[in-house]
């Protein structure tokens, strides 16, 4: 399993304006973005005892979480993802699943998962059976992504974080509300090294690495 370095910072609106100008000068816009941004909607899973949430809040060094995600309201391309953390390192595994499979999952239909030839789907199935892992919260937000080839760097500005009130509505348009007074989040990910041009571009006075979690922010409301 290959892990990448990850930094996360809570920033202000003025910080975002500053970073946006700097990043546009030194990095490239992600080719998947539309007008420089895209909308992400994720459905996070947790146990009845909120294991994923508690491990995040308690700062457990090694932890995993499952989510289902699609972009820009397009449910023709949906992915099941497993995000693993090890200290300041992160790894993401992802496999495509269909809207029909996702709908069945939302309704508690798991038989298709047992017969899946995809190891990640089967892993989630086993944990849903043994740990009672279940869909728990919808998280939606806007992302501005920038990439830099050297170091395989990806810098994102995430804002307008919203929560869905019912997991059953995951595939339906709309149905989200603001997740309180959530900050703007700067995330920086890279492989073996972070080029100095990017390191310099993201420097902000008085800002430090944060452990902010969009999932934890949205769980305050459901």
Q: What is the DSSP letter of 26?
A: H
Please state the pTM of the whole predicted model: 0.92
Number of domains within the chain = 1
| pLDDT tens, position by position, 48-68 | 999 998 888 887 889 999 999
Confidence class for position 222, pLDDT limits 50, 70, 90: low
121 token code pair: 């789907």
Cβ atoms of 132 and 115 within 8 Å: the answer is: no
Q: How many residues does the chain have?
A: 222
| pLDDT tens, position by position, 103-140 | 999 999 999 999 899 999 999 999 999 999 999 999 99
CATH (domain of 186): 3.20.100.30
Residue 30 and residue 34: Cα distance in Å, rounded? 9
Q: What is the extent of the structural domain holding 99?
A: 4-219
* Contacts of residue 173, Cβ cutoff 8 Å, sequence gap at least 6: 73
How far is C-alpha 59 from the geometric centre of its chain's CA atoms? 18
DSSP E strands, the chain: 4-11, 28-29, 38-46, 62-71, 74-86, 89-97, 134-148, 153-164, 176-178, 184-190
With pLDDT > 70 as the criterion, what percentage of the chain qualifies?
Answer: 96
């Amino acid at each position: 399993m290959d892990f990448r370095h990850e930094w996360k910072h809570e920033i202000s609106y003025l910080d975002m304006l500053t970073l946006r100008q700097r990043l546009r000068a030194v990095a490239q816009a992600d080719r998947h973005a539309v007008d420089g941004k895209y909308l992400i909607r994720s459905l996070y899973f947790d146990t009845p005892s909120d294991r994923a949430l508690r491990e995040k809040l308690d700062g457990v060094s090694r932890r995993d979480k499952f989510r289902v995600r699609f972009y820009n309201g397009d449910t023709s391309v949906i992915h099941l993802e497993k995000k693993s953390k090890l200290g300041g390192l992160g790894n993401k595994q992802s496999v495509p699943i269909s809207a029909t499979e996702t709908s069945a999952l939302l309704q508690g239909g798991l038989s298709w998962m047992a017969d899946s030839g995809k190891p990640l789907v089967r892993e989630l199935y086993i944990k849903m059976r043994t740990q009672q892992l279940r869909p728990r919260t919808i998280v939606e937000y806007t992302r501005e992504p920038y990439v830099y080839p050297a170091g395989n760097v990806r810098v994102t500005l995430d804002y307008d974080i919203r929560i869905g009130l019912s997991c059953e509505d995951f595939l339906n348009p709309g149905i989200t509300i603001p997740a309180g007074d959530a900050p703007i989040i700067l995330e920086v990910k890279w492989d073996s090294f972070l080029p100095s041009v990017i390191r310099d571009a993201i420097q902000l006075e008085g800002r430090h690495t944060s452990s902010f979690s969009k999932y934890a922010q949205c769980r305050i409301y459901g």
